[in-house]
A and B are shown apart, each in its own frame.
Chain A
Amino acid sequence: MLDLIDTKNQVTTRPVLQVEGLKAYYQMNYFGVRREVRAVDDVTLTINRGEIYGIAGESSSGKSSLIKTIAGAITPPLRVVEGSVKFDFGGKMLDVYGEPARMKKARWQHLSYIMQGSMNVLNPVRKVKHAFHDFAFKHMNLSGAEFRQRLESHLGRIGLDPRVLEAFPHQLSGGMRQRLTIALATVCEPEFIIADEPTTALDVLVQQDVLALIKNVQQRMGSSIIFVTHDMTVHAAIADRIGIVYAGRLVEEGPTVDVFHRPQHPYTAHLIASLPRIGDTRKRQALPGKPPNLADPPSGCRFHPRCPLAVDKCKSENPPLEGRGNGRVACWRAGEVEAA
């Protein structure tokens, strides 16, 4: 995986995605009792053209909800309460929640989304070629023969034999299906790719293969990627920048190298310290406590009940996400944590 980290990404400073003050809550009303789960709470972030942005965090921290909201693929009870998500596709701004008609057109053509469990994107009772036809054909304005030609050369670049188009999904291995999913998401050459746990179900060898593939495709097309995974090694392998999500909030963000070597937030520091290292046989410390209940989050900084550095101010006031070094961090005692 080292060679992956070394390939330099062509990151520009032109933003392609701007998320501002985004709040998305699960609002449920069962028998007159209102319940509100604040899965995405006041997230602001910008992703530039050609950039790979990784979102890390523990289970039920709101990672998936965040990128679902960014993709505009939310269904009730999850609703956007405040804030906006804007894409810049070729100079034209597109407000995801302001222009549903244009957004519908942009999907898959400019913006593709690989959902969780993406190995099952292919319909088990239909041949693979039909999936490409259904998802991509109408977005590409090509004739049938041209489309087929484009498809075959695209598959060739990804390392798949065009004969897989005639196969049923159950005849393919897990790795091949994952490659097909990536082929499906990139066949329209979208400017922006959203991926939810793209490698989680794979073993490390196939995972490495798939990561190299994602990076390869992304560099060739110059598109941007935002992806979610709890696997920090994947972040280390391909992300240009990492955002750490805790209890629905973005608590730290910065270039991958900085986050790994000089974490600013106590939660990030703990996350990094928990990673195994070659030659180090010490037992890893688990973070005490559980992730907070998002229906009734702690006051102030949401991490304070588990934080070793917590002071009184943390319990009452929510720290803003402010610039620090090359990144941003939301902590009253930012930088005081010892790098592990």
Chain B
Amino acid sequence: MFKILRDLLRYNIEFTIGFILTLAIFLFALAHFWAPMPDSAIYLLPPDMPPSAEYWFGTTSRGQDVLWQMSSAIWNTMLFGLTVTILSRLLAVAVGMISGYLGGRWDQVLMTINDTMIALPNIPILLLVYFVMRDSMSWPVLAATAALLGWNYDARLIRSVTLSLRNREFTRHAVFAGMSMRQILVRQHLPYVMPVIFFTAMNNLIWAIGLEVTLSVLGFSDINRPTIGGMIYWANQHQAIIAGIWWWIAFPIAAIVLLFLGLFLLAISVNEYIDPRSRLSRMGA
């Protein structure tokens, strides 16, 4: 594992930049555990202070330190994104692989469900769920809802890969040698599907973070829990741009852009960790 990481860092410049960016943002987000004040406290500090030696990123009109707010906000946003990604990957892999491997009636039923989900528009559904749930809407519920909406394209993609693997010689021999369906899917097909899962996972993470920001900016989430979108929501509520409090908006946006960039670079280079052929060709072997 360390060897692979070392090789990737040494031979792949995209991975190196993406890794450093994502790691830096992760460490920054991790720092909120050592924040000097709770992230929900307001009017603790003098409001509207510009960036200075004392308040690096300035303070908000609500008397919060932008630095520590952002730290919590990125942590919460990443947590949301990862939850959505893991849940939706489980669904996409299970549905895609079973559908592709079994074929026939199972394939028809699962893909009908899948295509119906694809046809549903995401944002209106999420808003509907928000209005129905209202006060009981917590971020895990929102994450589960987003996960239910975010697996279907990738399930189709994974299905198409499994569909071609089903007729390959190694699958037919595995069936003959008495491997069960679960064993074939996990041991023979999953390594092959892995690059697809990884790549779509990164894309899905970016999509989920974007979705969270969109909903929070509009105020359709738990507004007392700091997130990147939530910070922008409060900045808009206090008309930060008109009031000239630019640091309240600029720093969260810069953070999210850097996070997107880091994840994107990781997404395009992480294939090399999974696919031995491209890794070797990059190393000149």
Is the Cβ of B170 less than 8 Å from the Cβ of A125? Answer: no
Query: Distance (Å) between the CB of B186 and the closest chain A CB?
Result: 11
Enumerate chain A residues within 8 angstroms of B191, measured Cβ to Cβ: 123, 125-126
The reply on A79 being an interface residue by CB < 8 A is no
Interface size class of B (residues with CB under 8 A): 20 to 34
**Chain A residue nearest to B165 in the complex (CB):** A123
Is the Cβ of A125 less than 8 Å from the Cβ of B192? Answer: yes
Is the Cβ of A134 less than 8 Å from the Cβ of B179? Answer: yes
B141-194 contacts to A, CB under 8 A, are 168-170, 172-179, 183, 187-188, 191-192, 194
Is the Cβ of B176 less than 8 Å from the Cβ of A131? Answer: no
Contact of B172 among A73, A105, A122, A126 (CB under 8 A): A73
Is the Cβ of B169 less than 8 Å from the Cβ of A118? Answer: yes
Enumerate chain A residues within 8 angstroms of B175, measured Cβ to Cβ: 73
A66-121 contacts to B, CB under 8 A, are 71, 73, 104-105, 107-108, 113, 115-118, 120-121
Enumerate chain A residues within 8 angstroms of B168, measured Cβ to Cβ: 120
Is the Cβ of A135 less than 8 Å from the Cβ of B173? Answer: yes
Contact of B188 among A71, A113, A134 (CB under 8 A): A134
Is the Cβ of A71 less than 8 Å from the Cβ of B176? Answer: yes
Number of interface residues of A (CB under 8 A): 27
Enumerate chain B residues within 8 angstroms of A115, measured Cβ to Cβ: 169, 172-173, 176
Is the Cβ of A170 less than 8 Å from the Cβ of B176? Answer: no
Is the Cβ of B176 less than 8 Å from the Cβ of A123? Answer: no
Interface of B, secondary structure class, is helix
Query: How far is B276's CA from A185's CA once the two chains are assembled, in angstroms?
Result: 26
The reply on A130 being an interface residue by CB < 8 A is yes
Enumerate chain B residues within 8 angstroms of A71, measured Cβ to Cβ: 176
Is the Cβ of B277 less than 8 Å from the Cβ of A170? Answer: yes
Known: A125-B191, A130-B187, A168-B276. A113 touches B176 (CB 8 A): yes
**Chain A residue nearest to B168 in the complex (CB):** A120
Query: How far is B174's CA from A179's CA once the two chains are assembled, in angstroms?
Result: 18
Query: How far is B170's CA from A139's CA once the two chains are assembled, in angstroms?
Result: 18
The reply on B115 being an interface residue by CB < 8 A is no
Query: Distance (Å) between the CB of B204 and the closest chain A CB?
Result: 22
A224-238 contacts to B, CB under 8 A, are none
Is the Cβ of A134 less than 8 Å from the Cβ of B174? Answer: yes
Query: Distance (Å) between the CB of B4 and the closest chain A CB?
Result: 14
Q: Mark B124-152, 1 if CB is under 8 A from A, else 0.
A: 00000000000000000000000000000
The reply on B7 being an interface residue by CB < 8 A is no
Contact of A123 among B170, B178, B275 (CB under 8 A): B170
Query: How far is B190's CA from A125's CA once the two chains are assembled, in angstroms?
Result: 10
Query: Distance (Å) between the CB of A44 and the closest chain B CB?
Result: 24
Query: Distance (Å) between the CB of A81 and the closest chain B CB?
Result: 22
Is the Cβ of A135 less than 8 Å from the Cβ of B174? Answer: yes
Enumerate chain A residues within 8 angstroms of B172, measured Cβ to Cβ: 73, 115
Known: A120-B168, A122-B170, A125-B191. A134 touches B177 (CB 8 A): yes
**Chain B residue nearest to A123 in the complex (CB):** B170
Closest 7 CB pairs of A and B: A135-B177, A120-B169, A108-B177, A125-B191, A123-B170, A117-B169, A121-B173
Given contacts A73-B176, A108-B178, A134-B187, 16 further A-B contacts (CB under 8 A): A71-B176, A113-B176, A115-B169, A120-B168, A120-B170, A122-B170, A123-B188, A125-B192, A126-B191, A130-B187, A134-B179, A134-B188, A135-B174, A135-B177, A139-B178, A168-B276
Interface residues of A (CB under 8 A from B): 71, 73, 104-105, 107-108, 113, 115-118, 120-126, 130-131, 134-136, 138-139, 168, 170
